[in-house]
Structure 1
Amino acid sequence: MEFDLLGSLSPRGSEAPPAGPDTLQCSRKGCRADAAWRIRWNNPRIHTPERRKTWLACADHREDLEQFLGARGFWKDTVPLAAADPAGEQQE
């Protein structure tokens, strides 16, 4: 078995994608629960008004993340994960 020059743990020529979660996970540090909510926000000092950044939240951490962003004036809205497309826009 050959390895690349950087000492990769995957064999050279392997076409398998890098390992990662199969589902979207909560953005709270240390949480690995499946996300159920898309929390959309922006920092008005560095983002244009229409830009939305996204954090994902499980049911247990949704309120904490909203409060954290709200206290800074960053929180815009929260939508169920199933009701948003991959770009974060709510579907009609």
Structure 2
Amino acid sequence: MNDETPICSAKGCRTTAAWVLAWNNPKLHTPDRRKTWLACDEHREHLSHFLDLRGFLKDTVPFDQWRSPEDSAEPAAAPDPAGRQGPDAP
């Protein structure tokens, strides 16, 4: 792993991320804004469920297929390779 390796956002996980979970909190963000969490295969379902229960989850995309805003007409934030800390994972 190096500084460019995408890391899962689940708390305490240091596994390479395989998924991008695009989300937005409608109380805080404009409808076109996309925040991202990264997920490994093990934590994808847990993190997706956490976001979906709150109505935040907008899309789940394999990391290697995620397109940055420059590549797409739809605005989205590029995932942070270091990952953002999501909720506690089992």
Asked if residue 44 in structure 1 is aligned to residue 26 in structure 2, the reply is yes
RCO comparison, higher one (Cα < 8 Å, 6+): 2
Q: 5+ unaligned residues in a row in structure 2: which ranges? A: 73-90
CA RMSD of aligned residues (A): 2.0
Q: TM-score, normalised to structure 2's length? A: 0.71
Given candidates 21, 24, 28, the residue that maps to 2:3 is: 21
The corresponding residue for 1:13 is none
Q: How many residues align?
A: 71
Q: Do the aligned partners of residues 48 and 89 (structure 1) sit closer, same or farther apart at CA in structure 2, a change above 3 Å counting?
A: farther
Q: TM-score, normalised to structure 1's length? A: 0.70
Q: Do the aligned partners of residues 51 and 89 (structure 1) sit closer, same or farther apart at CA in structure 2, a change above 3 Å counting?
A: farther
Given candidates 46, 53, 61, the residue that maps to 2:35 is: 53
Q: 5+ unaligned residues in a row in structure 1: which ranges? A: 1-19
1:84: how far off? 1.2
Residue correspondence of structure 1 range 74-89 to structure 2 within 5 A: 74-87=56-69
Max radius of gyration: which structure? 1
